[in-house]
Amino acid sequence: MTGDNGDIVVRAEGLVKSFKGFRAVDGLDLTIERGMIYGFLGPNGCGKTTAMRMLTGLLTPTEGTVEVLGLSVPKDAETLKYRIGYMTQTFSLYGDLTVLENLNFMATIYGLSGKKRKQRIGEVMERYELTDLGKRFAGKMSGGQRQRLALATAVLHEPQLLFLDEPTSAVDPESRRHFWEQLFDLVDGGTSIVVTTHFMDEAERCHKIAILESGQKRADGAPKDLMNAMGANVVEIEGPNLRDIRRHLLGSDGIMAAAQLGARLRVLVRQEITDPAEFLKAKPETNGASLIEQVRPNLEDVFVTATGEGRQ
Ligand SMILES: Nc1ncnc2c1ncn2[C@@H]1O[C@H](COP(=O)(O)OP(=O)(O)OP(=O)(O)O)[C@@H](O)[C@H]1O
C-alpha cells in the first residue's frame, strides 16, 4: 500500500485502536481527497483525537491500514513528519519560550535553516499577525494569539496536509471566524486539511465530514448532501406548553427526536410520513400550538438522526 495516489491524501481501512480491550476507534474506513477541508464531527470521547493520532503516525493502530500522502503509516512516519503539520488540542507550545523562540525551535525540528528559515518565520509571523509579538512568551498570550502561533508553527515547513485537533475550542467566536478564513486561504494555496470539531457550525464549513460516535463512522459526505439524504423531515412547533408537547411526542411512533430551541420545538419526523406537518397537527397534544411548519434540515438534525439520540 504505497505510492502517491494523487488525489487521495488519506486512506484508512478497518482502523481500530484498543486501549486494554476498549475500542476507542472501532473499524474506521476513510478516504480523504486532496484540496479539501475534511472534518471529524463527534462528541467528546468518540475517538476523534485517537483517529487523528493514528493518521499522523504518532499512535500505532491495533488493526487496519493507513496510507497518508502515499506513505504507509506508521512504517513511514518519519518521512511523513516533514510533509504534514499537526496542531494539537492543547496547541503544544512552549510557554516559557517567546513567539520567535517557539518558531525557531520548530524550524530546527523541521530542518529549516539559513535563508529559508528566516524567510518562512517572517512570512508566518506576518500572515498570522505575530510580528509585534516576537518577544512575547507563549505562556503569556491570549487564547486567540496562542492559536495563531500554533497554526504558524504547524505550517512553518509548508506541509501538504494539515491536521488540526479541535483548533478553536479555546477561542472566542471572532477568532474562530478569522481562523476559518485562514484555513480557506491555506486550501487555496494547495494545502489539504483534516480537522476535528464538536461544533456544528464549524463542521458545516467543511467540504466533507465524517460523523463519529463510539469510535465508528455513522455517516460521511458533504454537509449539504448529508442534509438532503437525511432520513427525516424537520417540523417546528410554536405555542404554549412546549415542554409537555415534547414529553408526549418523544417515544411516539414516527418521531425520531424533539428538542427545544428558544420559543420553538424542533421535531424530527420519520421520512416515511408524507406530510409531517399535518401528521403533527393531527396529534391531540399539539392542539394549542400557534404554528406548525416544516423547515429545512441543518447539520445538527443530521447528527441527531445519524447517532444514538435519533435511534432511541
Ligand atoms: N491512552 C489512552 N488510554 C486509555 N484510554 C484512552 C487513551 N486515549 C484515549 N482513550 C479513550 O478513548 C476514547 C476516545 O478518546 P479521544 O481522545 O480519541 O476522543 P475525542 O473524540 O478526541 O474526545 P475529546 O474531544 O474529548 O478529546 C475516550 O473514551 C478516551 O478516554
If one residue of 16, 50, 88 were mutated to test the ligand 1 pocket, choosing by the most ligand atoms within 8 A of its CB, it would be 50
Q: What is the ipTM of this complex?
A: 0.95
Question: Which cell goes with 202?
Answer: 464549524
Tell me, what's the pLDDT at 302? 92
CA distances from 286 to 201, 250, 273, 277, 291 (A): 30, 13, 17, 11, 10
Degrees, nearest 5: CA angle 288-270-292: 25
Do 166 and 89 touch, CB atoms closer than 8 A?
yes
First to last CA, the chain: 40
Tell me, what's the pLDDT at 3? 46
Binding site membership of 46 for ligand 1 (Cβ less than 6 Å): yes
Tell me, what's the pLDDT at 107? 94
Question: Which cell goes with 155?
Answer: 505550517
Tell me, what's the pLDDT at 2? 43
Question: Ligand 1 centre from 24 Cα, in Å?
Answer: 6
Tell me, what's the pLDDT at 169? 82
Binding site membership of 297 for ligand 1 (Cβ less than 6 Å): no
pLDDT digits (tens, 9 = 90+) for 187-203: 999 999 999 998 898 99
Domains and CATH numbers, the chain: 8-222 (3.40.50.300), 231-296 (3.30.70.100)
Tell me, what's the pLDDT at 90? 74
Tell me, what's the pLDDT at 228? 86
Question: Ligand 1 centre from 216 Cα, in Å?
Answer: 13
pLDDT < 70: residue spans in the chain: 1-5, 309-312
Tell me, what's the pLDDT at 309? 57
β-bridge partners, 294: 235
